[in-house]
Structure 1
Amino acid sequence: MRTIKVIHVHLIFERRDYYFGSISAIFDTLDENIVGIKESTLLHLQLGDGSCIPTRRAIIRQSHLIRCKRKDST
């Protein structure tokens, strides 16, 4: 079993959900005014697995995507 970090950003007023592989990827796609927090602030908060950071504009959560091992094709 393999796990991959996933960061879920729920934009409250837009009612939209985004999924990212890193904090930097969030700010490559969304403006800090839309998210309600600066990239540097979010990096310093050290978002952990299962943790949630609410802002005035978004809810940011980190979790893991669970994948199974690749099966041999024999």
Structure 2
Amino acid sequence: MDSAISAVREFVRDFDPQFLVIFGPDHYNGFFYDLMPPLRVGAAAGRRLGYARRPLDVDAEVARLVTRSVLTEGI
């Protein structure tokens, strides 16, 4: 598993993207089943569950554009 994560980390670093869109089940931790949305877009940095403390650069404008796009497209 560590080698797979290292390979992905190296690929992303070499690619040098302007931003990342990550698909994952993180919204499960913030909602109960009766309130769970079909998707969630993070528009600000946050830390929880003891993850390493380091700056998280979140482009709120890009997050808003992504949100508008998925709503407009009916995703």
Could you say which TM-score interval applies, normalised by the shorter chain?
Answer: under 0.3
Greater percentage in strand:
1
Name which structure has the greater RCO, CA cutoff 8 Å, separation 6+.
1
Greater percentage in helix:
2
